[in-house]
Chain A
């Protein structure tokens, strides 16, 4: 059974940094691309960033480009999101998701339960 468990969500002040982690199990982690998708309370889904199986292809939403960095450790079966210069509008649940494909992006066939990032002074 595929399991994606996010951690690292917290209350943080505007301008500060936070690192999210996602522990993956139940599948061959380095066979698949992975993503972070976020959802502000009461709002819709927003794709944040994606990374191919070997980190060779990485992409970001315009709203986070230059501030967030997605990475993965295929030995530790883990996905990360380094979030710098956090803004109030970054406040959301952040979901770790698995892609169907390895190199390109496709459909997100497994999701974690999400971790909440609150940005407030």
Chain B
């Protein structure tokens, strides 16, 4: 089975900072990698699919990149409403695997 790891597990940043989260797969997963945002007490929300495609309505400050085993999720300028936990998710052949999550809060 493919394992997903994320780093860091948590981070603190200031409003306006550039925030970067990485997700690593245990083997080559091409671009089958998605990113979700989950705010406290809410259901997750899809932000990025297939590594770099933005879901409709997602602010342009959110972006994704990468392929193979290494992926990056970036918030170009952190806003107070971006405080949340972010998860990467891999999909293939009838299996879905989430990363452990990265909690982002304000410094």
Interface size class of B (residues with CB under 8 A): 20 to 34
Residues of A within 8 A of B101 (CB): 44-45
Segment with Cβ contacts to A, from B15-23, B69-77, B90-98: B90-98
Residues of B within 8 A of A106 (CB): 34, 49, 91
Q: Are A107 and B49 in contact (CB under 8 A)?
A: yes
As a 0/1 sequence over residues 1 to 20 of chain B, the CB contacts with chain A under 8 angstroms (1 = contact) are: 00000000000000000000
Q: Report the separation of the CA atoms of residues A108 and B94 in the bound assembly, to the nearest whole angstrom.
A: 13
Residues of A within 8 A of B52 (CB): none
Q: Report the separation of the CA atoms of residues A109 and B57 in the bound assembly, to the nearest whole angstrom.
A: 12
Give B51-104 interface residues, CB cut-off 8 Å to A: 55, 85, 87, 89, 91-101
Which one of B34, B45, B50, B91 has the highest number of Cβ atoms from chain A below 10 Å of its Cβ?
Answer: B91
Which residues of chain A have a CB within 8 Å of any CB of chain B? 35, 37, 44-47, 50, 57, 59, 95, 100, 104-109, 111-114
